[in-house]
Amino acid sequence: MNDDVITTEPVLWPLAHRRSLTLGPAAVVMGIVNVTPDSFSDGGLFPTRDAAVEAALKMEAEGAAIVDIGGESTRPGAGAIGADEEQSRVLPVIEAVARRSDVLISVDTHRAETARKAVAAGAHIVNDIWALQRDPDMAAAIVETGAGAVLMHNSRERALAADLVEDQRVFLQRSLAIARAAGLGAARIVLDPGFGFGKETAGINLELVARFGELHALGRPLLAGTSRKRFIGHVTGREPGARGAGTAATSVFLRMKGAALFRVHDVAINVDALKMADAMLAARPQR
């Protein structure tokens, strides 16, 4: 596939609660709300349910179509928590956001039990950083709830293959096979290459940005999750909270490479940057 030829044809993404989202013609922004004390850049910023809800509503007002609510830090070295604690953090926030807004809600979890309860509370999407490969019941939970799924490549706890795109292909095709076996249709799946998750150097992540277009061979819409990542800090010299502009630069580049969704902490700057990217894509000469 020539990764310089990017299509923006519409793809309908079916979600829970009879909702759906059209991907392709315009970039879609997913705002990050971490209800955790120890996430790498925003841990502790939303210590109460009300603070997290207000953050989610602000992101919606700034142009986020989705808010992604997570209750367990995924930064390297973060302490593990149990399902009960995770649910005590995220479920009240999901319920409150669902009552106050029509914004789409994603739950960031790798636990089937949390996924089921989150969708019952009002979530529409399950964002699994282990792509159905950690909890053997996750695929069934997504099928049962009717949720959309984001399946993320993760190379933690193992060595990357010599070719990083081949590693993506093998890992994500395994996840797609798990989905098929459980009856989870491809139409419900978005794939995420998992920037930073087991990709320890700036060079690896920059290569993944550069080769992003090759991932279209997997046949599903792609999510870009570069927000405030360490490789952006390596290039810019900025601390995590000051990496909004660097993130927006990667968002534009990845939009030009065909990414459909963008998971970000800094919603407003990325929404504006992606509007410009979409305008530039629309101005391309017709072939």
Has domain 13-281 been given CATH number 1.20.1080.10? Answer: no
- The mean pLDDT of 59-66, rounded to a whole number, is 98
- pLDDT of 159 reads 83
Whole-prediction pTM: 0.93
pLDDT, average across residues 267-280: 98
pLDDT of residue 76: 59
In whole angstroms, what is the distance from residue 109 CA to residue 16 CA? 16
Q: If DSSP codes are grouped into helix, strand and coil, which group holds residue 125?
A: strand
Per residue in 79-112, pLDDT tens? 677 899 999 999 999 999 999 999 999 999 999 9
Domain extents in the chain: 13-281
Task: Render pLDDT for 223-250 as a digit per residue (tens, 0 to 9).
Answer: 999 999 999 999 999 999 999 999 999 9
What's the whole-number mean pLDDT along residues 21-40? 88
- Which residues are known to be catalytic? 229, 263
Mean pLDDT taken over the chain: 93
CA–CA dist 179, 183 (Å, integer): 6
Rounded Cα distance between 283 and 287, Å, is 12
Cβ atoms of 145 and 119 within 8 Å: the answer is yes
Over 80: is that where the pLDDT of 59 sits?
yes
pLDDT at 5: 52
Confidence at 4, pLDDT banded by 50, 70, 90: low
CA max distance for the chain = 54
pLDDT at 39 over 50: no
